[in-house]
Amino acid sequence: MDRYPPNILKSLAADIASAAGAPRADAAILADSLVAADLAGTSTHGLSRLAIYVKRIRKGLIDPRAELKIDRARAATLAVDAGNGLGQVQAVKVLDRLVPMARQCGVASATIRNSQHFGAVGYYCNRAADQNMILIATTNCEPAMSPEGGCEAFFGTNPIAASFPTGKGFHVKIDLATSLVARGNIIAAQKKGERIPQGWALDPQGNPTTDASQALLGTVMTMAGHKGYALALMVEALSSVLSGAAIGSSIGSMYKNLDRKQDVGHFFCLLDIDAFMDVADFKRRMDETIDRIKSCRKRPGVEEILVPGERSDRTMRKNVREGIKLDAATVTEMRQMAQEFRIDFDAIAGTRLVSPSA
Amino acid sequence: MDRYPPNILKSLAADIASAAGAPRADAAILADSLVAADLAGTSTHGLSRLAIYVKRIRKGLIDPRAELKIDRARAATLAVDAGNGLGQVQAVKVLDRLVPMARQCGVASATIRNSQHFGAVGYYCNRAADQNMILIATTNCEPAMSPEGGCEAFFGTNPIAASFPTGKGFHVKIDLATSLVARGNIIAAQKKGERIPQGWALDPQGNPTTDASQALLGTVMTMAGHKGYALALMVEALSSVLSGAAIGSSIGSMYKNLDRKQDVGHFFCLLDIDAFMDVADFKRRMDETIDRIKSCRKRPGVEEILVPGERSDRTMRKNVREGIKLDAATVTEMRQMAQEFRIDFDAIAGTRLVSPSA
């Protein structure tokens, strides 16, 4: 895999999104969020998604120029209709509106309906942490998991995320799907012809399976059984029931349903740290927490205890230094899109290619 | 086990708490929260806790007359010092203050420091749902779990809870510890001389163990490994880092540390449903969600799919009808406390005893 400078990729992605119809500023938001995911090593939410967004825009399934419509507003809340716009763009715009509300009231919250897949939830949380705020964010997504006891995909892998600023040079970033493993791990096992561990998934009849193909036809297990089910339902109730978005299995699949919109729902709750204590005190207390966690006695064979967000921060620093690795499929997609939009891929990316690292 | 009418138990518990020093209205709050837990079948957070609260009051480790002190306030937030008061009482008082703030602003949030064990988190969430609001609540608690990779108890079993009103006659109530299993299950196995399943706990050296005694000396596993660790840290950051309460292993143990206060921290975020959509619409959408979940195709051997809160609602209805079962140890403790406070236990409870059910 080749490595590319992040800024080059960001500029290329923004050019493509803009050519596909997004206003320039919005294209830049989308590009920033995708490249941030690649920087953090979460390539599943990075530029590998650009092609499907563009495809859906071209089919009229995403409106890249959609404006936010505010269904209801109070001093500290917004109920937003995203107008079937790009998930990342609409989410950032809502977050930007919440910031002054949270500064004023101490907390501000929004629901967003009629949205799309909006990438890595932690992106928005880190953006809030950059401003000394704490964002708790959830989203529903296309069906993958069944309720405990069931064997039909009803819930998405419904993630929960929150970031907390620290004095350590990185945010503590919690960002987790309520599934036991990401569906991507099962797809990877299938590609390699490997079996998956017992407990990851059920076949379509609801029996535990180690056959990756059967698992992909069936359902992914919730994390910790009934507890993950409960959390997935909490995420669904906040992101979708409360927002007015499609519920559970009514969410459209980004790749499979190329005939209808997704109608994904998101939930944001933004806390201004200064409403509770001085930001400096909060960061000092976060640092103390991190130090005490990292100096815990270790289990046999464990070299280092990491806090959530630490690994992705290290990956990000390495990728800023060495460039972002893109897999061949994503490069091919980007090249094709560039070609279709008459953007000179090689002029932008080719000449500034970083050599593959050892 | 004998069964007792809930109202009798509530009155008895209130009399005891009042005799121990709590103002009458506060004693009633504590009694209501404890009996609600017993009604719901969560006896670990019910009247079985009254004796330790009273013991701690008598040792001067809880101030039953503490007033709330507001450290900081904005239109939609409160940073509260609970003054080392009774956890349940202070939490209810804070929630009652948040309700009009959330009606006004759409959302309201509070941190509470310098508090105690405050029982079942879902109690507060259900109380909010009774008013057509959604409460997301977390608390830290005395150390039981290590961060992933560690083997020292740092986190409590740090629960997350939220309730959602429905049109079904019960609230969807999510209330889960971020540990794989409750420590109580390990204590129960030890008492019966049984081994615990692999994966529940680590011994003090950080090795997996099936020996309940070793497990009790060691640490309980987080749910879903690193994911439960991340959630436990999120709960700690919200409940404790942001509130100013003791962090992680600095929390006092309710039973073991009879020489110092606990300094537990709680976090509340209260959403007014009407700020996002009509309450009737929300309930209709919750009901649709419940109906679709319950009619999912079932796994082999599964008779019914339950939604969180449904089982405890059934237990509650049964207990309201038939009386609350109390174990002998709790009855003995209640009788002893009554005697010490010159309350006639038998006059209150004895004559109205419900016969043991078959």
Cβ–Cβ contact B273 with A under 8 A: yes
Using a CB-CB distance cutoff of 8 angstroms, which residues of chain A are in contact with residue B244? 277, 281, 285
Strand runs labelled E in chain B: 2-4, 69-74, 77-81, 107-115, 133-139, 160-164, 172-176, 201-202, 208-209, 219-220, 264-272, 324-326
Tokens 């929960």 belong to A160
Q: Could you tell me which chain A residue has the CA closest to the CA of B208?
A: A299
**pTM score above 0.95:** yes
Strand runs labelled E in A116-242: 133-139, 160-164, 172-176, 201-202, 208-209, 219-220
Chain B interface mutation, best of A296, A298, A304, A307, highest count of B Cβ atoms under 10 Å: A296
The amino acid at A19? A
Q: From CA B340, how far away is CA B58, in angstroms rounded?
A: 12
The ipTM is 0.97
Cβ–Cβ contact B259 with A under 8 A: no
A7-46 residue pLDDT tens: 999 999 999 999 999 999 999 999 999 999 999 999 989 9
Q: From CA B46, how far away is CA B75, in angstroms rounded?
A: 34
Cα separation values, B63 from B210, B343, B350, Å: 40, 22, 31
For residue A298, is pLDDT > 50?
A: yes
CATH class of this structure's domain A66-179+222-295: alpha beta
Cβ–Cβ contact B227 with A under 8 A: yes
For residue B358, is pLDDT > 50?
A: no
Using a CB-CB distance cutoff of 8 angstroms, which residues of chain B are in contact with residue A271? 77, 109, 242
What whole-number percentage of chain A has pLDDT above 90?
Answer: 92
Q: Do B233 and A307 touch (CB under 8 A)?
A: yes
A237-248 residue pLDDT tens: 999 999 999 999
Among A144, A116, A119, A165, CA closest to A272: A165
Strand runs labelled E in B140-286: 160-164, 172-176, 201-202, 208-209, 219-220, 264-272
What whole-number percentage of chain A has pLDDT above 70?
Answer: 97
Q: How high is the pLDDT of residue A1?
A: 73
Looking at chain B, how many residues does it have? 358
Q: From CA A84, how far away is CA A56, in angstroms rounded?
A: 11
Cβ–Cβ contact B79 with A under 8 A: yes
What is the average per-residue pLDDT within B270-287? 98
Q: Do A236 and B289 touch (CB under 8 A)?
A: yes
Q: From CA A326, how far away is CA B172, in angstroms rounded?
A: 44
What is the average per-residue pLDDT within A309-320? 98
Using a CB-CB distance cutoff of 8 angstroms, which residues of chain B are in contact with residue A307? 147, 233
For residue A357, is pLDDT > 60?
A: no
Cα separation values, A345 from A56, A172, A286, B126, Å: 22, 36, 44, 57
- Say how many Å lie between the first and final Cα of chain B, rounded: 11
Q: Do B244 and A277 touch (CB under 8 A)?
A: yes
CB atoms under 10 Å from CB of A297, counted, come to 15
Q: How high is the pLDDT of residue A345?
A: 87
Q: Of A242, A289, A298, which has the smallest distance from its Cβ to B276's Cβ?
A: A242
For residue A104, is pLDDT > 50?
A: yes
Decide if A1-65+324-358 and A66-179+222-295 have a common fold.
no
B316-351 residue pLDDT tens: 999 999 999 999 999 999 999 999 999 988 888 765
B9-67 residue pLDDT tens: 999 999 999 999 999 999 999 999 999 999 999 998 999 999 999 999 999 999 999 99
Cβ–Cβ contact A69 with B under 8 A: no
For residue A185, is pLDDT > 50?
A: yes
3-class SS shares of chain A: helix, strand, coil, % to 5: 45, 20, 35
Cβ–Cβ contact B22 with A under 8 A: no
Q: From CA B221, how far away is CA B178, in angstroms rounded?
A: 9
CATH hierarchy code of domain B1-65+324-358: 1.10.1530.10
Q: How high is the pLDDT of residue B222?
A: 97
What is the average per-residue pLDDT within B295-301? 97
List beta partners, residue A268.
A110, A137
A25: left (phi over 0), alpha (psi -120 to 50) or beta: alpha
For residue A296, is pLDDT > 60?
A: yes
What is the average per-residue pLDDT within B89-105? 98
Rounded to the nearest angstrom, the minimum Cα separation between A338 and chain B is 39
Q: Do A305 and B231 touch (CB under 8 A)?
A: no
Encoded tokens for A14: 């923004």
CB atoms under 10 Å from CB of A279, counted, come to 14
The amino acid at B247? I
What is the average per-residue pLDDT within A212-234? 96
Domain residue limits, chain A: 1-65+324-358, 66-179+222-295
Q: How high is the pLDDT of residue B351?
A: 52
What is the average per-residue pLDDT within B231-258? 96
